[in-house]
Amino acid sequence: MAEAYKGVQYESLRKMYADREKLLNISPKENLEELRAKLKGEIEEQNKQLQSMVNTLVSENINLKKRIEKTENKLAELEKIIRNALEEK
């Protein structure tokens, strides 16, 4: 039974190492600078995409608020018309 347990531990450790191996980086400083530049570019691109999404959502939010306000005004007008019609009877 102890051997089976060791096998499971080894397989678990092997899988964990394999999953994280790509995160290990043993390289000269030049490669680190390239990696930093690449990551900076990717982050900037992602920020641009996120900013675009935020701008779109803000615009949609403003439009929806205007539509809600118009709908509330129309509802108030309809309620007033109905109230007046009921009072005339």
User: What does the pLDDT look like over 22-76, one tens digit per residue?
Assistant: 777 666 666 778 888 899 999 999 999 999 999 999 999 999 999 999 999 999 9
Number of domains in the chain: 1
Q: 61 lies in which domain range?
A: 2-88
Residue 39 pLDDT = 92
Residue 1 pLDDT = 47
Could you give the CA distance from residue 29 to residue 33 in angstroms, rounded to a whole number? 6
pTM passes above 0.85:
no
Q: Decide if 51 contacts 61 (C-beta within 8 A).
A: no
Better-predicted residue by pLDDT, 72 or 11 = 72
